[in-house]
Structure 1
Amino acid sequence: MKIEISDEANLPSRFGQYKVMAFKEGEKEHLAIYKGDLNGVINVRVHSECLTGDAIGSLKCDCRDQLEAALKYIEQHGGMVIYLRQEGRNIGLLNKINAYHLQDLGFDTIQANHQLGFKADLRTYEIVDFILAHFGITQINLLTNNPEKLSALKAKIVNRIPIQITPNEFNEGYLRVKKEQMGHMLDE
């Protein structure tokens, strides 16, 4: 796999002062947002793109809340957020909006993906291993509720740091499906 890597740049944000690098994998461009010393055990959040949540503030999911919580955590404790361009659990924006339509008709998030011919989750994490290796990171505290990420990464996971988000009336069912059908570790 040929990966292009950008130069390092400063990224002042409303959450704090970070450094950033981009990693181009084929047509997808991922981002590493980091702060502090990257030696030893590093706090890491692997976050998949969610345009509707991250940028527009959709209340159908918990994506933006998780991203903001992770950036605040990294600002306070140091570490890295790896932002993956895997929209809609890697089915793409157009298919994600079609899945939203099916959800409007009463399907849950997994049923909607299945109706469109997709598995519940098509994300992969090989690029995360590449990014961590690029920075020489071998041990991490992983900010996640997703058990799939715990088993998918090559780095040694020293601790799992949960990201607890308060549900709202629009995402309660979505979060219940993540917990009950996908094994996400919520309400801990």
Structure 2
Amino acid sequence: MAQVRARVQLKVGRNSDIPAEIISFTDLKDGKEHIAMVFNNADTEQDVPLIRMHSECLTGDVFYSSRCDCGEQLNECIEMMHEQGGILLYLRQEGRGIGLYNKIDAYVLQSQGMNTYEANNHLGFADDLRDFSDAVLMLNALNLSHVKLMTNNPKKLNALKDAGINVDSVVGTHAHIKAGVAGNKSYLETKIKHGAHMLDIKKIKKP
């Protein structure tokens, strides 16, 4: 699998200048343009690097939607990897795999009282359509067989283990509860109850 690497400066979180290397890949299974972002040469200088599989969320990552904590999780990840090194796999799987427009349709249903899973189901989708096999291919291309995984999602953990990637430890993200934002805390509680996310609702990250 071929790779193309480019060095960039990022503007994330608190407007820090954070250097990282962006890697593109050929021959991925689903044909989407997934990328890896490498901080502090973690792919070559760390035996067991910290990695995160982050599914694209335009509304959260870019516009900081009140309906999720994706942007806050992404910033937490990037700032941690800036400090200690790591590899961010940014996967183009918007809306747990249902796509951006369908996610906006789901927003309408959530405004009517459904949670995120119920809204997806009402639209005819399963709870979570994401497939992490391309993430495994990306790790294989980077020659990584042992990793530390930054996640609260057991599905991501099991996907790596089932593919033969050794997860030496799991690092959880904080609960990003937005003060005064209706629905944010209930969104996180739903991920815990329905999606079995390993999230400590008391482990609150202050903005």
Shorter chain as normaliser: what TM range? over 0.9
> Counterparts of 1:68 and 1:148 in 2: how far apart (Å)?
21
3-state SS of 1:73 partner: helix
| 1:69 Cα offset (Å) | 0.6
Trace 1:56-135 onto structure 2 (pairs within 5 A).
56-135=63-142
Moved over 3 A (4+): 24-27
> Counterparts of 2:153 and 2:72 in 1: how far apart (Å)?
15
Amino acid at match of 2:20: Y
3-state SS of 2:34 partner: strand
| 1:59 Cα offset (Å) | 1.6
Q: In the alignment, which residue of structure 2 is the partner of 1:12?
A: 9
| 1:186 Cα offset (Å) | 1.1
> Counterparts of 1:136 and 1:128 in 2: how far apart (Å)?
12
Structure 1 residues 90-120: Cα deviation after superposition (integer angstroms, max 9, x where no partner):
0001110000010011111010001000011
Matched, 1:159 2:159: no
3-state SS of 2:125 partner: coil
> Counterparts of 1:137 and 1:32 in 2: how far apart (Å)?
13
Q: In the alignment, which residue of structure 2 is the partner of 1:28?
A: 32
> Counterparts of 2:176 and 2:191 in 1: how far apart (Å)?
14
Between stretches 164-173 and 92-101, larger displacement belongs to: 164-173
| 1:27 Cα offset (Å) | 4.0
> Counterparts of 1:29 and 1:173 in 2: how far apart (Å)?
32
Matched, 1:181 2:194: yes
Q: In the alignment, which residue of structure 2 is the partner of 1:43?
A: 50
Amino acid at match of 2:138: I
Runs (5+) with no aligned partner, structure 1 = none
TM-score normalised per structure 2: 0.85
TM-score normalised per structure 1: 0.93
Structure 1 residues 128-166: Cα deviation after superposition (integer angstroms, max 9, x where no partner):
111101111111110000011110013100010000033
Q: 1:139 aligns with which of 131, 138, 146?
A: 146
8 Å Cα contact 2:73-2:176 kept in structure 1: no
Amino acid at match of 2:194: Q
| 1:173 Cα offset (Å) | 1.2
Q: Which structure has more RCO (C-alpha within 8 Å, separation ≥ 6)?
A: 1
> Counterparts of 2:3 and 2:48 in 1: how far apart (Å)?
24
> Counterparts of 1:88 and 1:27 in 2: how far apart (Å)?
18
Runs (5+) with no aligned partner, structure 2 = none
8 Å Cα contact 1:65-1:165 kept in structure 2: no
